Structure 1
Amino acid sequence: MKVAASEQTVISFSDVVRSEFTKIISHPTIVLFIIITTIMNLGLAILDTSGLVFYPGNDMPPSTVADFGLVMFAPIYAFLILPVYAASSEYQEGQNRMTLITVPNRQLLMKGKIVAVGLAVLCGILVTIIPSRLIIHIFSDVDMSCILIDLTRWTAVYLLMSIIAFSIAGLTRSAIVPLSILIMIPIFIATGILQWPGGLRFLPDQASMSLLGTPAYEVTELSPWIAFFTLFVWGVICAIAYWLSFLRRDS
């Protein structure tokens, strides 16, 4: 018996967002790495507030854990498992074709994926970043406006880096490739293999640390607004590339 067109189930945008969001937050690997990121950030926050001081020598002033931008920034690579698996896990587990059968409108599906990932990332930030940053600020002599600015910066970095990672994972259909790219870039910079500070400062990780006010190196430092704009442009370009690829690939 055929079902009349008016009686067919209409898949709404909210249905797609709800479905994609549920897939993300229920994925065991994503949940595990959210917990790992939270523990890492809380551990660094506790170390910083404990009064632990490092003496680098060479007439350099003593430093706390928070003064090391690379160290404080490192947990983000565990957090990026969330957007990377959100984009690539269906390809790895063979669910992509089933999703496309359920939601054949690729424009609607892609919009739902992006909104769902954004919501999941914001929820993840509430768990992994906000508590640790508040712990650091509770024991520091700063006013509320400085705390809000700091939380906004960290939220922007985690959100924009997640969009970049999500898009690269979708383009490559891989969880390994985007993480390898994003992790190897700072390693190559640290080893001095890439001798082009004027260009390296515009890479996502260097721009992120500049936005946080803790640039990895003086020669790669950007002003906060330029750093934000750099990350935003990276996110837009990567998202558009993934969007166009998703609409046309395998069609």
Structure 2
Amino acid sequence: MRTATPAPLPMETIRFSDILAAERIKITTLPATWIALVIALCANTVLGVVAATDVVRIAGQDGPIPIARLGTLMLAPVYVFIAIAVFAAGSEHRGGQLRVSLAAVPDRDRLFAAKLTVSAALSLIATIPAVLPGYALRHAAAVRAGELRAGHAVAGFVALLTVYLLLGLIGHGFAVIAKTVITPLAVLFITPVLVSPLFRSTLPHVVKFLPHEAALSLLGMPADPAIALHPVAGLLVLAAWAALSASIAWKIFVHRDS
């Protein structure tokens, strides 16, 4: 006697909210998510304390420089933090895990939209605890002394959250394109440390439009006046990088074999 095989559930029974919930569970249960969050929190807090107390200065051509003026150093924790978005996007390419997701949600457009939405939302939420303690420690004394207006401090915090979110979106798209987590993290970290300093004097009009330099311009902390953009221009450039990375990743995800 043959038993009838149950037909697969129609796509209509899989709600978009179900896909969002599955992605949320996946990201929040990844060890890399919590490791990146804790490391970024600790690094930002330490940098905030050191910058506020001004106990450490770096030797420069014009004398010792407070670390608070070293934009690349102060922004360094973001390259640990973006591992949240990178692992969310790239971890499923190991061991054929993506095939399981596609078997459950064959509509690749819906699946990618859910992945990108949850990655962006959770990255934005996680940015607050990762950044706020260090930022508050760094600027609280200046606000109390009247050296920094509270409104300016809030605007600076929002700008920092924006930088973390947009760099995370760039990392997310890059991880989908590369189908790995190692390459995006390595490239995004090495570019501001090695590539930008190497070409800063010879190709300043190119370097200023790289994601890291655009982020520093948005924060009002350019590494060099020659590569500085207006903060609004820095925001637009960084947003353009994020949109480009996400759109290319979306197209590749939809059309590439799993």
Q: Same fold, TM exceeding 0.5? A: yes
TM-superposed CA distance for 1:216, in Å, is 1.3
In the TM superposition, 1:70-149 aligns within 5 A as 70-141=72-143, 142-149=148-155
What is the alpha-carbon distance in structure 1 between the residues aligned to residue 50 and residue 29 of structure 2?
Answer: 31
State the TM-score, normalized to the length of structure 2: 0.90
Amino acid at match of 1:41: N
Q: Give 1:29's match in structure 2, choosing from 27, 32, 35.
A: 32
* Residue aligning to 2:163: 157
Contact in 2 for aligned 1:21/1:119 (Cα 8 Å): no
Contact 1:169-1:177 within 8 A present in 2 as well? yes
Pairing 1:11–2:20 present? no
- For each residue in 1:2-44, what CA deviation from the matched residue of structure 2 results, as whole angstroms up to 9, or x when unmatched? 6588988711111111111111111012211211111000010
Partner of 2:247: 240
Give the fraction of aligned pairs with identical amino acids, expressed as a percent. Answer: 29
Q: Provide structure 2 residue ranges, at least 5 long, that are not aligned to the other structure.
A: none
Correspondence 1:206 to 2:213: yes
Cα distance change, pair 204–55 in 1 and its aligned pair in 2 (3 A): closer
- Kindly provide the amino acid, as one letter, of the partner of residue 180 in structure 2: S
- 1:207-226 paired onto structure 2 within 5 Å: 207-226=214-233
48, 51, 61: which is aligned to 1:48?
Answer: 51
Q: TM-score of the superposition, structure 1-length normalised?
A: 0.92
Q: Deviations over 1:204-225 (max 9, x none)?
A: 0110111111111221111100
Counterparts of 1:57 and 1:112 in 2: how far apart (Å)?
47
Q: Deviations over 1:80-132 (max 9, x none)?
A: 11111111101124311001001111111111101110111012101211221
Match of residue 70, structure 2, among 62, 68, 71: 68
Gaps in structure 1 of 5+ consecutive residues: none
Q: 1:144: how far off?
A: 1.9
Q: Report what 1:166 is aligned to.
A: 172
Range with greater deviation from structure 2 (129-138 or 219-228): 129-138
CA contact 1:87–1:167 (8 Å) conserved in 2: yes
Cα deviation for residue 184 of structure 1 reads 2.0
